[in-house]
Amino acid sequence: MTQRDLLLAALRHEPTERVPIWLLYPYHRCPYYADVRSEPSYGAVFAASERYAVHLDRRSLGVPLFTAEVREERETVQENGWQVERRRLCWRDVSLVAETRRRGDEVEIRKLVDNEADLEAYCSLPVQTDPAIIGAALERQLPAYQREAAEFPLHLGSMMLDLGEPIGALYGQSNLTEYPIWSLTQAPLIEGFLDRVQERLRIVYGWCLERHLADVYFLVGSELASPPMVGVETFRRWIVPYAWDLIDRIHAAGAYAIQHYHGQISAILPYFLDMGPDALHTIESPPVGDCTLSQAYAVLGNRIALIGNIQYDEFRSRSPESMRQAVREVLDEVAGRPFILSPSAGPYEATLSERVAANYLAFLEEGWTYGKR
């Protein structure tokens, strides 16, 4: 089986001749991971990954969230010894301002949605739901995406699109001290906004699915409205129906969905069965999370493939032999279940230390040999 065969079989929950391994970074450069393919310090790891690992070339396609009536202004100024980076959204009588202020080692941040008045204003902004405008924005990005897809060695895995979930449009702009309170006091307002963002996302996903741009879609959003930050009922309302709708569309087009989640998952794990992804990354055991792989399979059975679950920090702290032992323990725990071996996160470092490189190599080699079924 090629790496692509291993990946797709795992996502279909079919038996594989060995456990697939995924190091998370995309084949092409992106802003949130190290440039593994081009950075010399990653050279040995990348070469080994071509032999041992599945590759998912995670890409994003950007579409404006709001209509053109919403003006965005940016400026950087000096004020009383502070360097101030300011972003402003304006529409009719609405003006929302986000600031980052720096003076020496001091940093002060004001989010765009800082209080309830800001929340009401932000949720009133007109979301872009015109299919023609959204399609034109995506069409402009298509040639660059197609060049990357043509460069990607398909036998290694798949192109993977990360197009977002509705909650991301609010979470990243919000004062996270107030955000849990809003889940109790402003739920109808927020849910109306999420409905409009979902309408936009249906168009974006549909455009990509109709063109068969990727075999795999990566949904990042479930961790943004979950315990302990907000209650289980909020997760059920703000995450589950929207994710289910998008995943159902992905499946109807013959593609696969991987959901991403960091943190304490045990209280909400059954709801992932309602959403229906093909795989879930990552289950985090204590002390970082609150659920072991065995406990997760007890809830999910074989209906969702699990991806994980060695913590990224362990690549910095373990010895290579200790890393090999950790890999064996994970593979023993999941024996016979639908599973993809991966770190919990990373790689983030622009250059790789010798210790971390040695642990990546141990992880790959042991996963390949011990993971043979």
Q: What is the pLDDT along the chain (373 residues), one digit of tens a residue?
A: 999 999 999 999 999 999 999 999 999 999 989 999 999 999 999 999 999 999 999 999 999 999 999 999 999 999 999 999 999 999 999 999 999 999 999 999 999 999 999 999 999 999 999 999 999 999 999 999 999 999 999 999 999 999 999 999 999 999 999 999 999 999 999 999 999 999 999 999 999 999 999 999 999 999 999 999 999 999 999 999 999 999 999 999 999 999 999 999 999 999 999 999 999 999 999 999 999 999 999 999 999 999 999 999 999 999 999 999 999 999 999 999 999 999 999 999 999 999 999 999 999 999 999 999 8
Phi-psi region of 367 (alpha: psi -120 to 50; beta: other; left: phi over 0): alpha
Q: Are 59 and 26 in contact (CB under 8 A)?
A: yes
| 3-class DSSP assignment, residue 95 | strand
Task: Report the helix count and the strand count for the chain, using DSSP H and E.
Answer: 14, 11
| 3-class DSSP assignment, residue 221 | coil
- Residues whose CB is less than 8 angstroms from the CB of residue 148 and which lie 6 or more positions away in sequence, other chains included: 27, 28, 57, 59, 159
In this prediction, residue 373 carries a pLDDT of 81
Element (H or E) spanning 77, and its range? strand 71-79
Phi-psi region of 63 (alpha: psi -120 to 50; beta: other; left: phi over 0): beta
Residue 205 CA to residue 40 CA, distance in Å, equals 36
Tokens of 67: 């209509």
Tell me the pTM: 0.96
The fold of the 3-65+127-370 domain, in CATH, is: TIM Barrel (3.20.20)
Element (H or E) spanning 16, and its range? none
- The conformation of residue 78, written as its DSSP 8-state character, comes to E
HSE (CB half, 13 Å, CA atoms) of 219?
31
| 3-class DSSP assignment, residue 310 | strand
Of 202, 236, 229, the C-alpha closest to 134 is 202
Q: Where are the domains of the chain?
A: 3-65+127-370, 71-110
DSSP string, 214-236: -SEEEEE-GGGS-TTTS-HHHHH
